[in-house]
Every structure is written in C-alpha cells, then in structure tokens.
C-alpha cells in the first residue's frame, strides 16, 4: 500500500507537469497577444515598447524555453503577475479559491447527504411509486443543465418568494448569518445535480448488493431488516458511490464557473471569466492550472479511498 501511494504520488507530479506544459502550449496557440493587453493598442505600434514588454515577460525567448521556465516556476508556486493589476497570480488565487471551495464542498455534501437516503429509499421500494418518483427526479437532475437549475432557483426563491439574496458575497468573518444565507442558493444549485448522480448510483448498487449471499446470510441469522440494510448492505453499496463522488467532485469544480457567474460569487470561476474578458493570459493560465491540479489531487484521493474501502483491489 505504501509503495502504491508513493507511485501514485509520482504519477500525480508528472501529470501536474504535463498539465502545466499543455496549458501554456494551448494559450500559446490561441490568437491574441499579451503585449497589446499590457501596452494598449497605440503603444503596441512602437517596436521599442513591444520589445521591452516581450523581454520583461520572457516572451522573446523560444516557446520551449518559455514553457520550461513556466513549469519550473509552477513547482515553486510562482505563477507570475496578472497583466491587468500586476498582482501576483498566486495571491489572487489564494483569495478567491476558498470561496469556490465553499460552494463545491457544500454542493458535494448536500448531494451526498440527500442522495444516499433517497437512493436507499428508492431501492427498498423497488418498482413502487416512491422508487418511480425518486428515479424520475434523479433523471431530471442529471439532465438539467446547472445554469438552468441556478437561474430557476433565483427566479423562484430569489425573485418571486424573496427568501434568499440572489447575488453577491459576504465573508464569513464579517457576518456568518448573511454568509450562509448567500451560500444557500449556489450550494443548492450544485447540490441538485450531485444529488441526482448519488441517488441513481446508490439505488443501483443497493439493488445489486441486496441480492448478495452475505445479505441473505445476515437475514437468515435473524437480524433485524434495518440492521441488514444499513450495516451489511449499505456499507458495501457505498464503495462505488465513494468513487462516483470523487469523479463528480471534479465536475463540480468545473461547474462552479457558471454557478459563480449566476450568483455573482467572487470565486475562482468569476476570476477566470474576468481574466478572459480582459485577455489576462497570466491569470487565466494560472487559474486553469490550479483547477486542474485540484482535479488531479481529487482523483488521487478518490482512488486511494476506493482502495482503502475495497480491500479486494490489489496493488500490483
């Protein structure tokens, strides 16, 4: 197990390296020039100015040198400065990343806490109306785009019923109550889709597990049905659910971009859109790399958790 973890860590480091190279390369291939952003169109006509800016950004060197320098700095957590404000990109990310993680963590928790009981209920009432309703809601939740869920929640709970504020962010340290109120809708938006996936997965693995020999054995021992369901069946049914949650966490990370946009939430996603609208290459590539690194870490942790929970997997 220890060797397996070490090997997976090494793979993760290589992946981070590759992701860094690829991000830089993608931005290099896309049209547009950071010099114009930095100097403005008029000053960018002057070859001297252009040369000076290129040199200061290291853009006068060949692309493979640029990539090497960028990846080397990436490992030292130096992502350069933003073009728009000349702030270190790492500082911007440090300020905004937690805000995105609140939504992601909240959405994932909501999805798991609602989805697992729903899935179990559905599986215990297989092919009855309760199962039918739950499965339909799950199918709907999987297919409804996240921005539709968000917009409709704003329309219903924000605009019509006025229960929640529809946009903006207040820091927890300033006003915990307001922070939570403002967090509710974004979390519900992300949580709905997550809930749907978890419900569907829990239902199908529960149905699977309830037919297993060890469940029959537990029943024939005369255990109470609730004990059979929760102690024997659910525990085993949750193993694939854990791995699903890991995969979906990564998806949530991507979806926060839209959710933050809808709710005017100043997180990493909003920063990415801001960077794109300002053509701030440094900030955009920094954010994308950080999101991908988080993605890699989540996948790593998921695989490790899966291996821990399911001892049948061998680490060769």
Partner 1 sequence: MHELTVPRRVGRTSRLVRYCRLVLAGSVISFFVVVALFPGMFAPHSPSAIITDRRLEGPSRDFWFGTDDLGRDILSRIVYGTRISFAVAFGSVLVTVLGGVSFGVVAGYFRGMWEWSLMRLVDVMLCFPPYVLAVLVVGFAGPGILKLVIVIGLLYIPRMARLVHSATLSIRELDYVEAERAVGAPDSRIITRVILPNISAPIIVQATLMLGTAILLESGLSFLGLGVPPPTPSWGDLIGRGRTFMTNNPWGVVFPAGVLTIVVLAFNLFGDALRDYLDPRLRGSE
Q: What is the DSSP letter of 26?
A: H
Least distance to partner 1 from the beta carbon of 181, Å?
Answer: 20
Q: With beta carbons less than 8 A apart as the criterion, state whether 52 and 1 touch.
A: no
- Looking up tokens 């109306």 gives 129
Instruction: Kindly tell me which of 18 and 224 has the beta carbon lying closer to partner 1.
Output: 18
Indicate which single residue of 201, 228, 229, 238 sits in contact with partner 1 (rule: CB under 8 A): 201
Answer yes or no whether residue 93 interacts with partner 1 by CB under 8 A. no
Indicate which single residue of 9, 65, 139, 301 sits in contact with partner 1 (rule: CB under 8 A): 139
Answer yes or no whether residue 279 interacts with partner 1 by CB under 8 A. yes
Answer yes or no whether residue 250 interacts with partner 1 by CB under 8 A. yes
Strand positions, DSSP E, 156-240? none
- Counting other chains too, the contacts that 7-15 makes at CB distance below 8 Å and 24 or more residues apart are 8/300, 8/303, 8/304, 9/300, 12/296, 12/297, 12/300, 15/296
Instruction: Kindly list the distances between the CA atom of residue 75 and the CA atoms of 18, 106, 174, 243, in Å, as whole numbers in the listed order.
Output: 12, 29, 34, 28
Answer yes or no whether residue 296 interacts with partner 1 by CB under 8 A. yes
Q: With beta carbons less than 8 A apart as the criterion, state whether 234 and 225 touch.
A: no
Answer yes or no whether residue 271 interacts with partner 1 by CB under 8 A. no
Answer yes or no whether residue 292 interacts with partner 1 by CB under 8 A. yes
What is the spatial distance between Cα 163 and Cα 172, in angstroms, rounded to a whole number? 20
Indicate which single residue of 97, 101, 142, 305 sits in contact with partner 1 (rule: CB under 8 A): 142
Give the footprint of partner 1 on this chain (CB under 8 A).
15, 18-19, 22, 26-27, 30-32, 127, 135, 139-140, 142-148, 151-152, 154-155, 159-160, 200-201, 203-205, 207-208, 211, 240, 243-244, 247, 250-251, 253-255, 257-258, 261-262, 272-273, 276-277, 279, 281, 284, 288, 291-292, 295-296, 299
């Amino acid at each position: 197990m220890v060797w397996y973890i070490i090997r997976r860590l090494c793979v993760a480091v290589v992946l981070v390296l590759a992701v860094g190279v690829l991000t830089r390369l993608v931005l290099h291939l896309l049209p547009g020039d950071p010099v114009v952003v930095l100097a403005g169109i008029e000053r960018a006509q002057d070859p001297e100015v252009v040369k000076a800016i290129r040199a200061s950004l290291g853009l006068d060197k060949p692309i493979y040198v640029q990539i090497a320098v960028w990846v080397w700095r990436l490992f030292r957590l130096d992502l350069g400065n933003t073009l728009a404000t000349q702030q270190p990109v790492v500082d911007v990310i440090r300020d905004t990343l937690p805000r995105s993680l609140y939504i992601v963590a909240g959405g994932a928790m909501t999805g798991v806490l609602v989805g697992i009981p729903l899935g179990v209920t559905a599986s215990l009432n297989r092919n009855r109306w309760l199962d039918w309703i739950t499965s339909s809601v799950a199918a709907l939740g999987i297919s409804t785009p996240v921005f539709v869920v968000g917009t409709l929640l704003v329309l219903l709970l924000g605009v019509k019923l006025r229960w929640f504020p529809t946009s903006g962010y207040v820091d927890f340290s300033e006003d915990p109550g307001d922070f939570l109120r403002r967090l509710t809708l974004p979390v519900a938006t992300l949580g709905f889709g997550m809930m749907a996936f978890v419900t569907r997965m829990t239902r199908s693995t529960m149905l699977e597990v309830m037919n297993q020999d060890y469940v029959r054995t537990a029943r024939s021992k005369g255990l109470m049905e609730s004990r059979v369901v929760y102690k024997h069946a659910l525990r085993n049914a949750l193993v694939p659910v854990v791995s699903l949650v890991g995969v979906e966490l990564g998806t949530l990370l991507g979806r926060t971009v839209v959710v933050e946009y809808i709710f005017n939430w100043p997180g990493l996603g909003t920063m990415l859109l801001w960077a794109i609208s300002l053509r701030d290459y440094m900030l955009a590539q920094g954010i994308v790399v950080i999101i991908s690194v988080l993605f890699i870490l989540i996948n790593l942790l998921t695989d490790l958790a899966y291996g821990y929970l399911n001892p049948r997997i061998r680490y060769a």
